[in-house]
Amino acid sequence: MSGYKIDNMKIVKLFHNPSAGDQEHTRKELVKLIESAGYKCRYVSVKDDGWKEIEDDVDLVAIAGGDGAVRKVCKEVLKRRLLDRKIPVAVLPFGTANNIGNSLGLMLGHEALVNGWSRACVKGVDVGIIQGHDEESFFLEAVGFGIFPNLINKMKKLDEEPETAEESLKVALEQLCDIADTYEARDCRLVIDGVDHSGKFLLVEVMNMPYLGPNLNLNPVADPGDGELEVIIIPEDQRGRLAGYIKDKLEGKEPEFLFSTLKGRSISISWEGIHAHVDDTIVKEKSHFELKIDTNKGVLDMLIPG
């Protein structure tokens, strides 16, 4: 991703999810951190009514929360861009998985990130565009079918919610391991830039960023600003390899992800199954999905450590 510097940022609008992660960071602490770095901070909780406003004089949108909060706020930033001007976004990862933060190299500590805003680069991050689905029209991380949406469903139905982010990631990997052993492969018609890659798969993920799910680096070749998407496919005959990869993660190892990765700008998918997701949101279940996915290159300006 190419980037540029910006000068004279003065007013920061802070969007905070107070229930993100282990809930250790308060409004008072966040505002103090930002103001001590020389900015005027306007705070709003994404849990409050009317949180979506971005005033005309705001120089920087900061998001303190997990991947879900980042997506919600970026949706409003993109709307504002269509009407007026581009406003850069800075992410302070406070969630459970923080896949966006991991993907963009933002896991440096919140104090270091805020103090580095004045030296950071603004880089254009791609946004995936979805046609054929009424509920969600764009994505930052991934659109996928098969195993991962099944995992999201199972995590939502747990009898007892994990108390910490670390426990939540461990439970998610355990659930994913069980799913990988038993999930039935599904027929998928997959066309990428006019080339047919159809088959029967356990998993198909159209990804914009490297990380997905419980901090799995499924897309190490990703550049979220190159105007292309990566499509990860895992067929039935690679079930054992997938299960082994997840078990290695459970044991604290960082195994290399060795599955098929295809790159493209325009992707058509017809999936025979009920499990699909857009970022961390489950798509309303139905027996068949037909989606067309494109990429909108560099439309979201994000602060990245220089």
* 260 and 206 in a common domain: yes
Residue 149's alpha-carbon distances to 189, 283, 296, in angstroms, are 18, 8, 24
Domains contained in the chain, number: 2
* 177 and 63 in a common domain: no
Provide the percentage of residues in the chain whose pLDDT is more than 70: 93
Does this model's pTM top 0.85? My answer is yes
* 145 and 94 in a common domain: no
* 285 and 149 in a common domain: yes
Q: Check pLDDT > 60 for residue 261.
A: yes
- What six digits make up the tokens of 34? 């930002």
- What six digits make up the tokens of 11? 């007013």
* 226 and 143 in a common domain: yes
Average pLDDT of span 53-73:
95
How far is Cα 115 from Cα 135, in angstroms, rounded to an integer? Answer: 38
Which residue, among 59, 100, 55, has the nearest Cα to 80 in the 3D structure? 55
pLDDT band at residue 60, thresholds of 50, 70 and 90? very high
Residue 19's alpha-carbon distances to 138, 148, 158, 301, in angstroms, are 24, 24, 18, 26
Which residue, among 25, 77, 24, 16, has the nearest Cα to 48 in the 3D structure? 16
Provide the percentage of residues in the chain whose pLDDT is more than 90: 79
> Which H or E run includes 193?
none
* 167 and 90 in a common domain: no
* 105 and 191 in a common domain: no
CATH number at residue 43: 3.40.50.10330
* 137 and 250 in a common domain: yes
Average pLDDT of span 129-138:
81
Q: Is residue 304 part of a domain?
A: no
- What six digits make up the tokens of 256? 């290399």
pLDDT band at residue 1, thresholds of 50, 70 and 90? very low
pLDDT in tens, 178-217: 999 999 999 999 999 999 999 999 999 999 999 999 999 9
Matching residue, tokens 């282990």: 22
